[in-house]
Amino acid sequence: MRNFAITLRYDGTDFCGWQKQPGLRSVQETVEQAIVAITHEPALRLNASGRTDAGVHALAQVANFFSMTRLDCPTLLRAINAQLPPDVSALNLAEMPQSFDANKDACSKRYRYVVQRGAQPDPLLRRYAWYVRAHLDVTAMQEAARILLGRHDFSAFATAGSERLSPRRTVLAVDVYTCGSCLLIEVEADGFLYNMVRTIVGSLVEIGRGKWTTDRLQEVLFRRDRRLAGPTAPAQGLFLVKVCYDINPSLHLGKSVATTANPVSQNSPQDTTAVLSFLLDTCQQSPHGSALRSPSSEAQSDKNSAQI
């Protein structure tokens, strides 16, 4: 029995989310059906790094599955993609050690949220951004984001449905930066509570609008009361950018997804097509790098981490 890690990209608009649900179209079931069509193993199951909600997208979701197939990784990858619908693609396939678990072995995840600004909404971004008409004070949002760095109880940023044993998480980095007409908010942490990123975004937008002061976010974090936090931002603006693992890259038998890129130009793209290309790049960084980064993340970077 072989253990495979598969990296997936999908447009979450027309899915009920990652997890299988009776009578609904899920990413998990869609990909499982594509693999089973090749391996003829009805019991095959995908184990993802985490579940994305309905409408949430992924640039590089990681999952693993066990199979008896004798196909090599390049051949199996091409066959899987031939079976997948247009809104899902397999980017990478690698054979991993038997002990590898895409969920339990994840060291950190990074999410990107896209807020579209301007006098009028851009229809080409309606599936991938939250349109906010009001002027947003980006500097104030960047200052407030620093409060979230480090290990805290994030109960105030979790909506009903969180099934975690502990609400404490370590936020390793937060980036708030502009890209054309869009404002991008990226959060990297060792784990996330249910709707944690979307509630953080909703709270930061309240600060950007001038409705909250920076001190309000500190109070929300301290009080641990969801009723005090901002609204949950809409699902369509959220992207799972990458999942990192503390493993040796030489274990990969397939070609790994690129993890380096040229720094983003200070001149952000202005037209919608360029913005979309920018948003969908897993390797993009903010113009100033990860300017907001917790001290604990320095140790994290020293580890031999790799994106599957």
Q: Which of 150, 160, 166, 116 is nearest to 276 (CA)?
A: 116
34: phi then psi, degrees, rounded to nearest 5? -65, -40
Q: Which tokens in the block code for residue 156? A: 């105030």
Written as six digits, the tokens of 32 are 């499982």
The answer to whether residue 53 is catalytic is yes
Exposed, middle or buried: residue 177 (CB in 10 Å: 0-12, 13-18, 19+)? Answer: buried
Rg over alpha carbons for the chain, rounded to the nearest Å, is 19
Q: Alpha carbon of 304 to those of 59, 184, 213, 300: distances in Å?
A: 22, 28, 39, 9
DSSP 253: S
Phi and psi of 42, rounded to 5°? -60, -25
Q: Roughly what angle, to the nearest 10 degrees, separates helices 73-83 and 27-39? A: 120
Residue 38 vs residues 35, 64, 80: alpha-carbon distances, Å? 5, 16, 7
Q: Do 172 and 159 meet the contact criterion of CB atoms below 8 Å apart?
A: no
Q: Where are the alpha helices (DSSP H) in the chain?
A: 27-39, 73-83, 138-145, 196-208, 214-223, 272-279, 296-302
- The one catalytic residue among 14, 53, 105, 271: 53
Question: Which residues are designated catalytic?
Answer: 53
